[in-house]
């Protein structure tokens, strides 16, 4: 394995090798971006560096990643636990001459990706993260594998050393959630589409924010720091309130783990809540993704022959 370039040369190094060594790799794909871990892709020691780049080449894609860069930079400068960046946004030319846009950032290995907009999976994902049990971050996968995942968690909890380690790690994560909640409240901010990575040792890292807003939950008002003319409708306010509640529930669950004197005390949390994220926030009769999946005659099958990958949250 070769030694990677100095940080100052990383951008040109990636631009040089993208067309020949990176373009054809699937990476970890979201709706608008994908992420590649540079170490394995380039046969270098850059395992802790990732390339996040747009999947498409439209001006809106460039705008999306440029805003993300601004959000992450702002949060980092103001003391929030966000992913560290190693470059500005730069152009990457793919075979055929199409220009994509990317930026270099930390690649957090062995982390569990959790979306704060998905309360249904909170307990199972937190247990999995702290017990180092591999999962996929999709509700569909969780719904279809709920029994299997719960069995793995129960098995781990029956091991005295693993149970004690869970409590220790939960104490670390409890402090991380507390600091984040208190800082957001003090700064009167909310992070839209909050997505985080949690490592087995209880570390928390914010990734891929959709927006940062001045938020008043009592008056139900939200104003974007970077796009103040953007309108915040009822659904968006509900979205922010749901995220606020999710953070409180996550902290409360960590406290329950800390206080548990036996695995039996945690049994009530080992299930997948079916009142998850609704397709239409404004439709009280809407079904959650999990409820819809379970009522489907032919549910989508999860990947069969792949090892779950740790991933950045991607839009």
Residue at token pair 């990176």: 22
**Residue 295: pLDDT over 60:** no
Residue among 61, 108, 103, 62 at smallest CA distance from 82: 108
Residue 33 has pLDDT above 70, yes or no: yes
**pLDDT above 70 covers what percent of the chain?**
82
Q: Using a CB cutoff of 8 Å and minimum separation of 24, what contacts does 10-16 make?
A: 10/46, 10/49, 10/86, 10/87, 10/104, 11/87, 11/90, 11/104, 13/42, 14/38, 14/51, 14/92, 14/102, 14/104, 15/90, 15/91, 15/92, 15/93
**Sheet order of strands, 90-93 included:** 28-29, 33-37, 49-54, 99-106, 90-93
Q: Coil, strand or helix: which one is 257?
A: helix
Domain annotation for the chain: domains and CATH numbers: 7-106 (3.30.200), 112-294 (no CATH)
User: Would the pLDDT of 294 be above 60?
Assistant: no
Q: What is the pLDDT of residue 7?
A: 58
Give DSSP secondary structure letters for 53-121.
EESS-SHHHHHHHHHHHHHHHHHHHTT--BPPB-S--EEEEPTTSPEEEEEEEE--TT-EEEETT-GGG
Secondary structure (DSSP) of 150-162: HHHHHHHHTSHHH
pLDDT of residue 272: 75
Per-residue pLDDT reduced to its tens digit, 167-199: 999 999 999 999 999 999 999 999 999 999 999
pLDDT score of 305? 40
User: For residue 297, is pLDDT > 90?
Assistant: no
Using the predicted structure, report yes or no on whether residue 238 has a pLDDT greater than 50: yes
71 pLDDT above the threshold of 70: yes
CB atoms within 10 A of CB 154: 14
The DSSP H or E segment spanning 190 is strand 189-192
pLDDT value at residue 58:
82
Q: Is residue 309's pLDDT more than 70?
A: no
Q: How many CB atoms lie within 10 A of CB 65?
A: 20
Q: What is the pLDDT of residues 100-110, one digit of tens each?
A: 999 999 999 88
Instruction: Determine the pLDDT at residue 274.
Output: 52
Q: Which residue has the tokens 């994509």?
A: 100
Give the mean model confidence (pLDDT) for residues 48-57.
87
| Integer-rounded Cα radius of gyration of the chain | 20
Locate 247 and state its tokens: 């953070």
Q: Is the pLDDT of residue 275 over 60?
A: no
| Assessment of whether the complete model's pTM goes beyond 0.75 | yes
The answer to whether 135 and 114 are in contact (CB under 8 A) is no
Q: Whole-angstrom Cα distance, residue 221 to residue 312?
A: 29
User: Crossing angle of helices 160-187/122-131, nearest 10°?
Assistant: 120
178 vs 175, 184, 191, CA distance in Å? 5, 10, 16
Give the pLDDT band (50/70/90) at residue 76: very high
User: Where does the pLDDT of residue 206 fall: very low under 50, low under 70, confident under 90, or very high at 90 and above?
Assistant: very high
Q: Read off the tokens for 197.
A: 């990575």
Arithmetic mean of pLDDT, 126-131: 96
**pLDDT at residue 83 in the model:** 96
Please give the mean pLDDT across all residues of the chain: 83
pLDDT for residue 211: 95
């Amino acid at each position: 394995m070769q030694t990677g370039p100095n940080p100052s040369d990383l951008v040109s190094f990636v631009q040089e090798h993208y067309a020949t060594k990176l373009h054809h790799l699937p990476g970890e794909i979201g709706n608008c971006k994908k992420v590649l871990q540079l170490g394995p892709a380039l046969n270098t020691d850059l395992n802790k560096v990732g390339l996040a780049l747009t999947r498409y080449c439209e001006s809106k894609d460039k705008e999306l990643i440029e805003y993300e860069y601004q959000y992450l930079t702002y949060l980092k400068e103001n003391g929030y636990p966000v992913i560290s960046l190693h470059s500005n946004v730069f152009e990457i030319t793919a075979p055929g001459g199409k220009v994509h846009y990317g930026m270099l950032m930390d690649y957090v290995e062995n982390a569990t990706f959790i979306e704060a907009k998905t309360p249904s999976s909170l307990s199972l994902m937190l247990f999995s993260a702290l017990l180092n049990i591999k999962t996929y971050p999709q509700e569909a996968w969780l719904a279809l594998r709920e029994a299997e995942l719960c069995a793995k968690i129960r098995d781990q909890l029956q091991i005295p050393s693993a149970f004690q380690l869970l409590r220790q790690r939960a104490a670390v994560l409890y402090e991380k959630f507390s600091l984040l909640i208190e800082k957001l409240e003090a700064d009167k901010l909310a992070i839209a589409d909050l997505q985080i990575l949690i490592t087995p040792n209880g570390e928390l890292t914010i990734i891929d924010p959709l927006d940062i807003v001045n938020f008043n939950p009592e008056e139900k008002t939200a104003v974007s720091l970077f796009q103040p003319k953007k309108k915040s409708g009822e659904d968006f306010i509900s979205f922010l309130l749901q995220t606020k509640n999710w953070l409180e529930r996550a902290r409360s669950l960590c406290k329950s783990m800390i206080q548990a004197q036996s695995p039996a005390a945690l049994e009530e949390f080992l299930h997948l809540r079916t009142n998850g994220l609704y397709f239409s926030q404004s439709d009280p009769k809407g079904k959650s993704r999990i409820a819809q999946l379970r009522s489907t005659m032919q549910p989508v099958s999860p990947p069969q022959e792949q090892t779950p990958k740790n991933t950045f949250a991607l839009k």
